[in-house]
Amino acid sequence: MTRDHMHPTIERVLRNIEKVMIGKRNVAELSIIALLAEGHVLLEDVPGVGKTMMVRALAKSVGANFRRIQFTPDLLPSDVTGVSIYNPKEMEFQFMPGPIMGNIILADEINRTSPKTQSALLEGMEESSVTIDGITHHLEKPFFVMATQNPIEYEGTYPLPEAQLDRFLLKMKMGYPEMAEEMEVLNRAQKGKPIDELKPVIGLAELRDLQEQIKDVYVDDTIKRYIVDLASQTRTHASVYLGVSPRGSIALMKAAQAYAFMFGRDYVLPDDIQHLAPAVFAHRIILKSEAKFEGITAEEVVDRVFARVPVPVQRLVK
């Protein structure tokens, strides 16, 4: 597997994003994987490293209807989903859609708002619909949420419960740029705002077609067994209070299908699983208190689990 064989359409999207995002190709790739797999992404990092810019660039690149929700402590669930308002002229209630009614949603600083408002967004992520006043409103496809959050040690935050973290296909960090990359950021910012000049390179119809093609990527039973074995090992690890759920196993399989497709293959390899598992599994693992006290991280647990589980060695093709 080499990057020379990347799917040409996906390569166009990545190069378009790189007109705005410098040195963040891995983050862009993972974001596209989640979008193709019809999952959602949680970006956690300090302010100012480009989390918002990443999702805006992705939305513009695929010609999506982009909506932004700025989460604050006083935000209400109806501010997210929408509300029914009585129209005296028509003598009936009319539904006023909220910002969740879009294709690509930026849920900015999701841990700044109350759990009740967080749940309004997460319900839509899980069900692809929202229920308001007893009426179900289906969300348009593609529907993709990229939520950002600042680390929980910052004051005034509401950490997402573990059950809600499980609804994100991937969790990742942006990280600070290298010195040369940050110099280039300054050079581009001096001339204007590159995001304002970004144009779509594919349309929503083409994106939906790619999402359907992902489902045909072959996953051999030995790969499925590998995923299940890895998930099972997280549940019995001495440092883990609660391991990866079956939803996490499904998420890893779907992400691997998207990753294989990205690099021009119609079958999944063990390498795909190993590459993606930290981003898919780590935020689904709840450590025991004593493990946290010892400084053990969920990422370290994933690494140790990989060391225990034998890797399928046969070449996996249909």
Q: What is the pLDDT of residue 2?
A: 39
Answer with the residue of higher pLDDT: 82 or 269: 269
Whether pLDDT at 194 is above 50: yes
Residue 158's SS3 state is coil
Q: What is the pLDDT of residue 159?
A: 78
Q: What is the pLDDT of residue 315?
A: 55
Contact assessment for residue 39 and residue 254, using Cβ atoms and an 8 Å cutoff: yes
Contact assessment for residue 311 and residue 272, using Cβ atoms and an 8 Å cutoff: no
Q: To which H or E segment does residue 93 belong?
A: strand 92-97
Whether pLDDT at 158 is above 60: yes
Task: Provide the 8-state DSSP code for 267.
Answer: B
First to last CA, the chain: 17
Please state the φ and ψ torsions of residue 8, each to the nearest 5 degrees. Answer: -60, -35
CATH fold match for the domains 3-71+105-111+141-208 and 217-308: no
Whether pLDDT at 51 is above 50: yes
Q: What is the pLDDT of residue 4?
A: 47
Task: Provide the 8-state DSSP code for 217.
Answer: S
Rounded Cα distance between 146 and 56, Å, is 10
Q: What is the pLDDT of residue 1?
A: 42
Domain residue ranges of the chain, discontinuous segments joined by +? 3-71+105-111+141-208, 217-308
Q: What is the pLDDT of residue 258?
A: 97
Whether pLDDT at 3 is above 50: no
* Per-residue pLDDT tens digits for 278-297: 999 999 999 999 988 999 99
Contact assessment for residue 136 and residue 96, using Cβ atoms and an 8 Å cutoff: no
Q: Domain 217-308 sits in which CATH superfamily?
A: Magnesium chelatase subunit I, C-Terminal domain (1.10.8.80)
Q: Mean of the pLDDT values across residues 300-317?
A: 82
Q: Mean of the pLDDT values across residues 247-257?
A: 96
Answer with the residue of higher pLDDT: 5 or 298: 298
Q: Mean of the pLDDT values across residues 261-266?
A: 93
Q: Mean of the pLDDT values across residues 231-239?
A: 93
Q: What is the pLDDT of residue 181?
A: 87
Q: State pTM to two decimals.
A: 0.89
The identity of residue 134, as a single letter, is G
Rounded Cα distance between 250 and 238, Å, is 24
Rounded Cα distance between 258 and 78, Å, is 34
Q: What is the pLDDT of residue 154?
A: 60
Q: Domain 3-71+105-111+141-208 sits in which CATH superfamily?
A: P-loop containing nucleotide triphosphate hydrolases (3.40.50.300)
CB atoms within 10 A of CB 246: 9
CA 79 vs CA 66, 83, 156: distances in Å: 16, 8, 20
Rounded Cα distance between 222 and 275, Å, is 17
Q: In a 10 Å sphere around its CB, with 0-12 CB exposed, 13-18 middle and 19+ buried, how is residue 253 labelled?
A: buried
Measured torsion, CA atoms of residues 164, 166, 170, 172, in degrees rounded to the nearest 10: 60
Calculate what percentage of the chain has a pLDDT beyond 70: 96
Q: Mean of the pLDDT values across residues 104-126?
A: 87
Largest Cα–Cα distance in the chain? Answer: 70
Q: How far is CA 314 from the centre of its chain?
A: 31
Q: What is the pLDDT of residue 254?
A: 97
Rounded Cα distance between 95 and 132, Å, is 9
